[in-house]
Amino acid sequence: MTTATAPSLTSTAPTPHQVWKRARGLLIALLILVIAGVTFAAVRSGTNYGHLDPRSADAKGSRAAAELLKARGISVTVATTLDEATTAAGPDTTLLVTGPNLLTPAQQRRLHEATTASTGRTVLIGPGQAAASRLSPGVRTEPHRPVSPLPPSCAFPAARSAGTADMGGVRYTAPDSTATACYPSDGTPSLLILKGRGDSDTVLLGSPDFLHNERLDQQGNASLALQLLGSRPHLVWYLPSLADPSATSDDGSPDNNNDTNGGGNGGEASGEESDFLDLIPSGWLWGTLQLTLAAVLAASWRGRRLGPLVVERLPVSIRASESAEGRAGLYRKANARERAAESLRAAARTRIARLAGVTAREAHTSDVLLPAVSARTTTTGDDLSTLLFGPAPADDAALVLLAEHLDALEREVRTS
């Protein structure tokens, strides 16, 4: 029996100092990215407004429309609470409600009472069925349709003057024959004008897209925006928010039942379903993308191979006889004579098959191995089968005897 030896080696585990030297570059780079992201977010936090905000110059903002209105002599006031909006409403005021679906039922009822008494113009952007039923009783909503350039198809002067505009979204119908329906999408209007007391009226818009900075210069969007929002000398641009202290209705929650929520930082409510990513400021998305790219590059850098793999040698040398004795002791402690006998027989069959000209694949097949071995020995077929493929020994003495008989059979085959 041969002895397996290998030179002993000391442990190659890296020390804490080595680990720090390897990781400090990555940690410093990560720290710089975090500091840069926080600084960038802090710098932009004071000027980052939401969708439909008249102070926002982003693609979805409405600063362009607000500036055009100011240039025509219209005063534009931003209201972020219901108290500010209802207080400013009056006969010479247009009240633009960008997110009626964000209001609670109690807020919607209060807003309807204030606008009805003001005899001014109220413009509602994308109210769903529940919000429309409280802010403009009797109006029914139809399913949303994609926004596209649509002709006015009505006699409303502002719409006829503007011509084709980017409309669509939520569509509205009213049982009142005095209502004016414009910009039909699939036969149902996406702009509805309801006459009120005196010169007051309520305008329902299915989509706010024509007010966005990115679309204001397309089609007749700018003309429609100026005429709808500039019919009175004062414009109150109301941006509902969930943080409004007046949002304390009977259920204390926004009216989302059957409505499609508007989203954004106090600004957007278009009747369209808002994607989750639309609610995240663009700076954070860009920062997350940068961090992800940095993480991928760092993983590629740290995971690269610097050369061929190093084969690790055994740290200690163990004599083959000691290994055999240790395994035998485990078999004996577990009383595993069957396992020990099978190991002895399998090893003997492998060696004898090579001597008898049997392939390694067929060394453990009795129909092939036994005829080849019996031709080289004087042992009868039954005894040979019992010896190489028989049952487990009944006791330790029988196990020792089996080992001796296997050694004798191997010697006989080798010398035959």
Model pLDDT, residue 149: 93
Amino acid at 389: F
Nearest residue to 201 via CA among 222, 177, 228, 219: 228
* Residue 129: burial class (beta carbons within 10 Å; 0-12, 13-18, 19+): middle
Model pLDDT, residue 307: 65
Nearest residue to 260 via CA among 96, 102, 50: 102
Model pLDDT, residue 163: 93
Residues in the chain predicted with pLDDT less than 70, given as ranges, are 1-14, 41-48, 248-283, 304-310, 314
* Residue 158: burial class (beta carbons within 10 Å; 0-12, 13-18, 19+): buried
Q: What are phi and psi of 162, to 5 degrees?
A: -75, -35
234-238 vs 165-173, strand pairing mode: unpaired
Residue for token digits 């577990």? 334
Tokens of 354: 């090579």
Encode pLDDT of 372-389 as tens digits.
Answer: 888 888 877 788 888 888
Model pLDDT, residue 291: 87
CA-to-CA distance for 47 and 67, rounded, in angstroms? Answer: 17
DSSP letters of 59-114? TT--HHHHHHHHHTT-EEEEE-SHHHHHHH--TTEEEEES-GGGS-HHHHHHHHHH
Model pLDDT, residue 122: 92
Task: Supply the DSSP symbol for 279.
Answer: G
HSE (side-chain half, CA atoms, 13 Å) at 150: 28
CA-to-CA distance for 80 and 239, rounded, in angstroms? Answer: 5
* Residue 20: burial class (beta carbons within 10 Å; 0-12, 13-18, 19+): exposed
DSSP letters of 31-46? HHHHHHHHHHHHHHTT
Residue for token digits 């001597």? 355
Encode pLDDT of 238-278 as tens digits.
Answer: 998 877 887 764 444 455 444 443 333 333 443 444 456 55
